[in-house]
Structure 1
Amino acid sequence: MAPSNATSRLPSLTGMRFLAALLVFSVHGAAAGVFKDQGVAADYYRWFGNAGAVGVSFFFMLSGFVLTWSVRPADTVRGFWRRRLLKIFPNHLVTFVVAIVLLTVTSTAVAFPETLANLFLVHAWVPDSGYVETANTVSWSLSVELLFYLSFPLLIKGVSRIAPAVLWYAAGGVVLVIMLMPLIAQMLLPDTPGFMFMKISWTQIWFVYVFPVARLLEFVLGMLLARIVLSGRWIGLGVIPPALLTIAAYVGAVLIDHNPLYNYVAITVVPLALLIPAAAASDAEGRESLLSKRPMVWLGEISFAFYCVHYLILIYGHRLFGSDPNIFGKPSGPAWSTPGGLLFLAAALVVSVLAAWALYAIVERPVMRRWGRPPGPRRTEQAAVRPERAAEARAAH
């Protein structure tokens, strides 16, 4: 494993993790179908239907960034893999079991090959929506993350050998490939049958959004961005401009008619690629922000657990408290007025945070404290990546 000069924590990026998780929550709130007024439901989906894709893209890019930022010379490939598997599998296994229990209680058929693939986190490799939409649906992204973790020891060797003067060109090249992925999907894959109401096929969506190899590009981009900051090549951009650019790109995607394949990654990849290193550089220089305050950092720390539990709470909470009778003998389906639907989403958010807190405190944190400690001394103080350290950082890389 290649060395890293980063010793500072990244509290703002930790806080941003929860905001990204909220974006994913918002789109699954649309998927739950809680609004009785179809016009309201359509507007909600129009504005939040792509929010989850932005959140997931942020997480994938952030994974590459943070792992490169924090890698240590004393680490081994086996130790790295052990820690990463311990990070994702305990939460996954708990929520997988909960999902199977809920499916059984609701007399929903459990498809054997799809569910087995979900259990072992290999289901994102299959271009079939049935493999993604099984058990705890959100776990498809963990299947993608698994590829990131398995390939990181090899990728870091290559990324570490890139000369600092070339890093921006390498990052630009990766961005270009990411932006070409929707075009490749259009040219090489059939656009029929259309998926849901869109004029694109599930196969095309899978290739751009789910296929682990395609999403590996964002992971590599995050790695390159970390090296840019570490080597003193960051352009000094603050957090506000890329944050506004991200919002503008998202709103533009909602308002402008275009191929929806570009919504999944391409439209917001550049703003996110500027936002993450901007926040990291701010943290490294010791600047405080609302995102770096303890409440947001705590929410960021439980964000993975939140991601794992929120979909089950939204979907099965809706089935339990909706309006049309179901096998619970309770209501289900699009049930509420607009205030009622918003109240349900707010309640589901609170319950998701509480459930995430419990999962984090009972499962994730104890496992990582017991078996997930990296080698070497613990970090006890922050050290900024300042211009005077740029030569040292370049020499190390």
Structure 2
Amino acid sequence: MRLSAAPERAPHPGRLPSLSGTRVPAAILVFGFHMQIAGLYAKGSTADAASAGLFEHGTMRVSFFFLLSGFVLSWAARPGESKRRAWRKRAARVFPNHAVTAVVALAGAAGASAAAGAGSLRVVLPGLFLVQSWVPDQKVYFGLNTVSWSLSCEAFFYLVFPFVLSAVDRLDPRRLWPAAIALMGVVWSLPVLTSGWSQPLAYWFIYVFPPVRALEFVLGVLMAQIVRKGRWVRLPVWVPTVTVVAVYLGVGYLPVRIGYVAAALVPLVLLVPALAQADLDGRRWIWAHPRMVWLGELTFAFYLVHQLVIRFALKLLHVPPTGTVGWGTAHSATVELTALAAAFGAALLLHRVVELPLNDRLRGR
């Protein structure tokens, strides 16, 4: 494999539509994961087995989004931009949607939270200020709008991003790959490091704790610089894609702590820059189709609303917490697809009414 001949860092790099489009299947996987937890299909049925096979490991998408976040922020960073300006842009992007969905969860319009004690200040305040993932208590980090635990991680990533980018920019291009490999090694060492810990504590540390998840974010920054500075290897997109699918289907056979993050890390680290390089070379995949890119722009809002929609739907249909086995497969599938459409509809509303106008206003446009 040879190195690409990409130029040195440019102030305004090209658009990477495939990276927006690939957010869509990742978002659907996590939606399917949360629907699968609801247990709509009869236990032991073919439909239940198929749902588990397709969606049981949908949380792997979190690694993809963390890597993608680091890559995209690094790719789009403007030379000489002040830290205050960078932080203001990130806050304008995140907090309007977060504030609205947190209030909806708090009001109980969608069943509030699955965690007990969701209305207590101990749960509400960390969730509102996006510091809940720093607390090793599931009732806290999964409180309010449960999925916003990852937004708590992203808030930390955005805070440290200017310093990370400055450090990576100063690296000799020949050291970018060694640095990335070293970080991947650290992630793979975490299951060993936590081998004597209790399962809840190890889960929080490996999967939820922001500084640990920042390793993936920094890997995304490094991979963007590898592409930008001409150090990327010409790896066909299908190679990491097939590997990601294989890991996704087989991760259930691995030790659980390896499955949290480490198992899929290497193929995901390779997939993101491979897609970016394909865009730069003009080799468009289905993910670069304008409709996929448009849907990809909705995925941030979709992620924040989808579990609220699921809880509201299950409450409306009087589904018990353990799920129902009284429905047929067609009925359960119809409920699932309807909830998916409703989640995208709610995401579109949030995107148009809250995210876009407030983002522009808070950024001073």
TM-score greater than 0.5 by the shorter chain:
yes
Tell me which residue corresponds to 1:346.
Answer: 337
**1: distance between equivalents of 2:61 and 2:112?**
30
Tell me which residue corresponds to 2:280.
Answer: 284
Letter in 1 for 2:328: S
> Which SS does the other structure have where 1:186 is aligned?
coil
* Cα pair 1:15 1:291 within 8 Å, conserved: yes
Q: 1:251 aligns with which of 239, 249, 252?
A: 249
**2: distance between equivalents of 1:102 and 1:72?**
41
**2: distance between equivalents of 1:22 and 1:285?**
28
**CA displacement at 1:292 relative to structure 2:** 0.6
Letter in 1 for 2:300: F
Structure 2 alignment gaps of length 5 or more: 1-8
> Which SS does the other structure have where 2:22 is aligned?
helix
Letter in 2 for 1:99: A
Q: Does 1:55 align with 2:55?
A: no
**1: distance between equivalents of 2:203 and 2:17?**
33
Letter in 2 for 1:20: A
Q: Does 1:202 align with 2:200?
A: yes
Tell me which residue corresponds to 1:27.
Answer: 33
Tell me which residue corresponds to 2:52.
Answer: 45
Letter in 2 for 1:140: W
Q: 2:346 aligns with which of 343, 355, 362?
A: 355
RMSD, matched Cα:
2.2
CA change 1:372–1:289 in 2 (3 A) is farther
**2: distance between equivalents of 1:240 and 1:270?**
14
Q: Does 1:138 align with 2:136?
A: no
Q: Does 1:93 align with 2:99?
A: yes
How high is the TM-score relative to the length of structure 1? 0.84
Q: 1:228 aligns with which of 211, 226, 235?
A: 226
Q: Does 1:265 align with 2:261?
A: yes
Q: Does 1:301 align with 2:302?
A: no
CA change 1:159–1:41 in 2 (3 A) is same
**1: distance between equivalents of 2:232 and 2:95?**
35
Per-residue CA deviations over 1:281-322 (Å, capped at 9, x if unaligned) read 111222222111111001100000000000011122112114
CA change 1:243–1:354 in 2 (3 A) is same
Structure 1 alignment gaps of length 5 or more: 191-200, 375-397
Tell me which residue corresponds to 2:308.
Answer: 312
**2: distance between equivalents of 1:14 and 1:69?**
13
**CA displacement at 1:373 relative to structure 2:** 7.0
Tell me which residue corresponds to 2:190.
Answer: 181
Q: 1:76 aligns with which of 68, 82, 85?
A: 82
Tell me which residue corresponds to 2:13.
Answer: 7
Letter in 1 for 2:307: Y
* Cα pair 1:50 1:264 within 8 Å, conserved: no
Tell me which residue corresponds to 1:159.
Answer: 168
CA change 1:232–1:319 in 2 (3 A) is same
**2: distance between equivalents of 1:334 and 1:99?**
27
> Which SS does the other structure have where 2:195 is aligned?
helix
**CA displacement at 1:5 relative to structure 2:** 4.2
Q: Count how many residue pairs are aligned between Structure 1 and Structure 2.
A: 353
Tell me which residue corresponds to 2:3.
Answer: none
**2: distance between equivalents of 1:259 and 1:133?**
23
**2: distance between equivalents of 1:137 and 1:106?**
9
**2: distance between equivalents of 1:365 and 1:121?**
21
* Cα pair 1:302 1:357 within 8 Å, conserved: yes
How high is the TM-score relative to the length of structure 2? 0.91
CA change 1:14–1:214 in 2 (3 A) is same
CA change 1:359–1:244 in 2 (3 A) is same
Per-residue CA deviations over 1:17-42 (Å, capped at 9, x if unaligned) read 12211111111111222223355546
* Cα pair 1:5 1:230 within 8 Å, conserved: no
**CA displacement at 1:111 relative to structure 2:** 2.4
